[in-house]
């Protein structure tokens, strides 16, 4: 206790130098907390927008589809979707299960014709209507948590099956607006050609420009009629919380085994290669950032402690002459480093969490990421593990940087110290 008290007094003997060192620690701790919160928000928004706009939390296919379905999609349709849904719907954590039927074809206004990918959906589940003119933050949040955002026209309804919604890029390629007539042309499951007159009910936007440039959405009933089938291509499962993915996956696997379902299950993280690669890249960037910050803090504290040893050489000789052992001198300087780490880390955590919280409330407008067409609003998150890591890093770097100066001080000879001027 006496050693700690003396160490704290020594820290503030040179207030300016200690303040500069503490500022470095505080800055490093704050930077780690804010950067970690920023990256976490990027991961969250990317993950949730991908789940709600494209994949759902799980997709169920007929066995073999994932390997051969791209070349022969209609050979791997699911014939009894309602029966399968009845087996799975009661699993805790599942919000809803819906069917999808996807096809490729052409869409035409009569003057312009472009290729497209059609997605038959259940309007009762996969729809949302954010009015045009909503502010960027509302649009960004809706796209993250609800899926495609309607930027013109209205959402699909079950009462009006011969309507479609087009991605923003696809609508732009055709030169249409909501309410314009269109013709869809595609192959049926039997191989013949079929066409259907529809109306552009609305135009939507997602977080993926590629998706918006090629996809249109229509009622599942209409898609079945167009393809001459009663089957579906996949079942999409949405959960109440993404964090339940692992638990629900185990429950689904048990039901598949018990009911002997000839199906294959893919979770959102298995489908999304882009998300995995992006997370790996950002995690490596964050690691480099943390290493740079740690090196800066170590050098700063090392310089402070080294200067303290040089300035207090005669003092070290005096306390050693009075009976303080070498390990006592070592302990004194290590306690000083520890004190700097704890004080700097504490202020760093307080300032870092407060700053991150304030910026999250305000939001930072970011430019569209690669492959996207709309800016997004960053709302950095306070991540407990990152906060703890930042605090522990402050302490550990302080101890590491104090080790050599403390060891050097403990190895000094009494006579040399007392002669030092």
Give the pLDDT of residue 71. Answer: 76
Domain annotation covers residue 271: no
Residues 43 and 69 in one domain: no
Q: What is the mean pLDDT of residues 2-30?
A: 77
Give the pLDDT of residue 347. Answer: 94
Domain annotation covers residue 269: no
- Per the CB < 8 A criterion, the answer to whether 196 and 100 are in contact is no
Give the pLDDT of residue 11. Answer: 67
Residues 231 and 312 in one domain: no
Asked whether the predicted pLDDT for residue 133 surpasses 70, the reply is no
Domain annotation covers residue 363: yes
Domain annotation covers residue 196: yes
SS (H, E, C) 94-149: EEEEEEEEEEEEEEECCCCEEEEEEEEECCCCCCCCCCCCCCHHHHHHHHHHCCCE
Residues 39 and 123 in one domain: no
pTM: 0.81
Cα 187 → chain centroid: 38
How many structural domains compose the chain?
2
Domain annotation covers residue 56: no
Note down the domain range covering 403: 2-47+276-419
Residues 144 and 253 in one domain: yes
Residues 359 and 224 in one domain: no
Residues 86 and 197 in one domain: yes
pLDDT digits 0-9 by tens, 341-350: 888 999 999 9
* Last residue in a domain, options 227, 261, 295: 261
pLDDT digits 0-9 by tens, 197-224: 999 999 988 878 888 899 999 999 999 9
Residues 220 and 339 in one domain: no
Residues 308 and 233 in one domain: no
Domain annotation covers residue 57: no
Residues 226 and 140 in one domain: yes
Q: What is the mean pLDDT of residues 348-372?
A: 86
């Amino acid at each position: 206790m006496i050693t700690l008290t003396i160490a704290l007094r020594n820290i503030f003997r040179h207030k300016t130098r200690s303040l500069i060192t503490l500022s470095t620690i505080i800055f490093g701790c704050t930077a780690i907390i804010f950067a970690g919160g920023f990256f976490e928000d990027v991961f969250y928004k990317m993950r949730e927008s991908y789940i709600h706009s494209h994949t759902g939390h799980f997709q169920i296919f007929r066995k073999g589809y994932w390997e051969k379905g791209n070349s022969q999609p209609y050979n791997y349709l699911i014939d009894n979707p309602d029966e399968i849904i009845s087996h799975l719907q009661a699993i805790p954590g599942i919000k809803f299960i819906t069917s999808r039927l996807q096809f490729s074809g052409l869409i035409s206004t009569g003057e312009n014709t472009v290729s497209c990918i059609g997605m038959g959906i259940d309007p009762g589940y996969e729809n949302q209507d954010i009015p045009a003119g909503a502010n960027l933050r509302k649009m960004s949040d809706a796209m993250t948590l609800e899926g495609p955002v309607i930027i013109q026209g209205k959402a699909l309804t079950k009462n009006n099956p011969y309507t479609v919604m087009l991605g923003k890029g696809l609508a732009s390629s055709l030169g249409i607006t909501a309410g314009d007539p269109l013709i869809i042309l595609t192959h049926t499951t039997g191989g013949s050609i079929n066409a259907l007159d529809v109306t552009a009910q609305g135009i939507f936007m997602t977080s993926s420009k590629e998706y918006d440039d090629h996809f249109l959405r229509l009622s599942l009933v209409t898609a079945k009629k167009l393809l001459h089938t009663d089957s579906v291509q996949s079942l999409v499962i949405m959960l109440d919380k993404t964090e339940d993915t692992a638990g629900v996956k185990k429950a689904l696997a048990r039901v598949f085994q018990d009911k002997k379902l000839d199906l294959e299950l893919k979770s959102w993280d298995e489908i999304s290669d882009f998300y995995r690669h992006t997370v790996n890249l950002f995690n490596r960037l964050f690691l480099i950032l943390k290493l740079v910050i740690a090196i800066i803090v170590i050098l700063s504290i090392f310089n402070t402690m080294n200067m303290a040893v040089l300035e207090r050489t005669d003092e070290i000789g005096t306390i050693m002459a009075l009976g303080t052992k070498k390990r006592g001198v070592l302990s004194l300087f290590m306690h000083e480093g520890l004190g700097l780490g704890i004080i700097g880390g504490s202020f760093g955590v307080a300032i870092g969490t407060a700053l991150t919280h304030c910026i999250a409330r305000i939001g930072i407008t970011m430019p569209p990421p690669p492959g996207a067409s709309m800016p997004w609003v960053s709302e950095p998150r306070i991540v407990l593990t990152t906060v703890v890591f930042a605090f522990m890093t402050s302490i550990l770097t302080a101890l590491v940087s104090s080790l050599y100066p403390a060891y050097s001080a403990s190895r000094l000879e009494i006579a040399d110290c007392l002669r030092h001027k």
